[in-house]
Amino acid sequence: MLSVEDNELLTRTGRGTPMGELFRRFWIPALLSSELPQGGAPAVKVQLLGEKLIAFRGAGGRIGLLESRCPHRHANLYWGRNEDDGLRCVYHGWKFGFDGACMDMPAEPSDSAYKDRVKAVAYPTHEAGGIVWAYLGPAEHQPDFPDLEWTTLPEDHLYVTKRHQRCNYFQNVEGELDTAHVQFLHRELNKNHTFTPQKVFDEAENPEYTIAETPVGMLAIAQRALPDGNNYWRITPFCMPSFTTVPTAPGNRFTFTAAVPIDDTSMWGFTVTWAPRPLTDTELEQDRSGMRLHVLTEPDFTPVANMDNDYLRDFEAMATENFTGIMGIRSQDLPVQEDQDGPICERQGEHLGTTDRAIVAARRLMLRTAKALAKGVEPTQPTAAAAYRQRSFAGEGAGDVAWNVLFDQVQSEAAPVVHA
C-alpha cells in the first residue's frame, strides 16, 4: 500500500505538482485527428492535466493548441474565428498564431507595438497515428517524438478510438498492468473463447511475476507453467508516463493504450489497435463492435455502457456467458476502475499480494522519477525515443527458453524506424 502522501503525489497532475511536471516532460495524446477534420473548421475544447485548452487546424493543416482564455480579458477562444494561420477572439478581434504570438490587434492604434508584447500560452503539437499529440512542458526540455512503431504506419493499418473515463489516470494504468485480473474479470463461461486463453489459465499453475526495467519504463512479465512442461508468457510493456501495450500472440495485431489525465478525477483513454499490414474487414468489425479492446461511445466520447446505466450489466449473461454480465473486454474494465474506492483510490488501505508486483513496481518508478524531478533531476525516459518501439508478447515457449528470448524475437520483427 501507499502512504497518503505518496498517493497524493501519484494522482495529482496539475501544473506545479511533482507528477504534473513529470507528465509535462513527455509527448502525450491530446485528441483524435478526426476531431479536427479540416483546416478552417471551428476550434475544439481540449482539457489535459487540468489545463483548459483550445485546438484548431489552420488552412494548411497545421494544428495549434492554445490556452482557452484570451490574454486580453480572458474571453474563451473556443468562440474564436479560425482564420488561415491563426485564431481570432470574437470579443475584440485579437488574433493569435500557432505559437501564441499576437498577430493582430485591430482596435489598437495603427502605430502601436503592443501586440508584439502580448502572447497567448501555446503548446507544440505533433500529428501521428491518427492522434494529435501535445507537449506541455518547458521548451528547453522538449524531447524528440517517441518512436512508437504504429505512428509510422499507413492509416489502414490502424484503428484508433478515444473514451472519457471517470477516474484518476493511474487506476487505468494499474488495470493494464494487472495480468491476474484477466482470468477472472474477463472470464468467459460459455467456452466460446474469443479473447482470453481461458483453457491455458484453467490448466496452468499460478503465475510467477518478474519485473524488468527498460530505458522508458518497465516490462511486467507473468510466467505460467503448463502441464506439458512448456510455459505460457504474458509480457506487458509499460512506457512512461502512462502507456501500455496489451500482451498479444505473435502474428496477431497489437493494441496500445494511453491513460491521459483530463484532471485528477477523469481521463481520456486512447486505444490503438494496429498491425504491420492492413487490418482486415473482419478485424475492423471486431474492434468496432465494442466487444474487444475498444468501447462504443457517444459523440462526446462517453462510453455507451457507463456508470449511469450500470454498464448495461445483464444478470442472465452473468450466469451463462461471462464473469461480469458486461459485454466487451474494455467495458468490463470500466466499473472496477471507475468505482475503485471513488475516482481517486485511497491506496493506504490496500492489502496487496504477489499478483500486484507490476503495480507496485510502476508506482515506485513513477514516484521515484517525479520526486527526482522535483529536486531538479530531469527524467531520462523522454529522451530515449527509440526505446518506445516495443511490442508485447503472449504465448507459449519451451520450458528451457527464457522470456527475453521470446520477447527479443518479437521485437526483431518490428517495422524499421521511419522518420518524417
**Superfamily for domain range 149-412:** Naphthalene 1,2-dioxygenase Alpha Subunit; Chain A, domain 1 (3.90.380.10)
Task: Quote the CA–CA distance of 19 and 17 in Å, as a whole number.
Answer: 6
Listed residue (334, 399, 365, 349) closest to 220, CA to CA: 365
Q: Coil, strand or helix: which one is 201?
A: helix
> Helices then strands (H, E): number in the chain?
10, 18
Domain extent listing, the chain: 27-141, 149-412
Where would I find the beta strands (DSSP E) of 34-79? 44-48, 51-57, 63-67
Task: Quote the CA–CA distance of 13 and 17 in Å, as a whole number.
Answer: 6
| CA angle (232 as vertex; 228, 235 as ends), nearest 5 | 165
Kindly state the DSSP code that residue 92 receives in the 8-state scheme.
T
pLDDT in tens, the chain (420 residues): 799 999 999 999 999 999 999 999 999 999 999 999 988 899 999 999 999 999 999 999 999 999 999 999 999 999 999 998 999 999 999 999 999 999 999 999 988 999 999 999 999 999 999 999 999 999 999 999 999 999 999 999 999 999 999 999 999 999 999 988 988 899 888 766 555 566 677 777 788 999 999 999 999 999 999 999 999 999 999 999 999 999 999 888 999 999 999 999 999 999 999 999 999 999 999 999 999 999 999 999 999 999 999 999 999 999 998 999 999 999 999 999 999 999 999 999 999 999 999 999 999 999 999 999 999 999 999 999 999 999 999 999 999 999 999 999 999 887 655 444
| Residue partners of 41: CB distance under 8 A and separation at least 6 | 56, 57, 82
Task: Quote the CA–CA distance of 146 and 137 in Å, as a whole number.
Answer: 15
Q: Coil, strand or helix: which one is 180?
A: helix
Q: Is domain 27-141 given the CATH code 3.30.1340.30 in the classification?
A: no
- In 3-state terms, the chain is what percent helix, strand and coil (to 5)? 30, 25, 45
> What pairs with residue 297 in β-bridges?
303
The amino acid at residue 357 is R
pTM for this prediction: 0.94
Copy the grid coordinates of residue 143.
524531447
Q: Are 418 and 152 in contact (CB under 8 A)?
A: yes
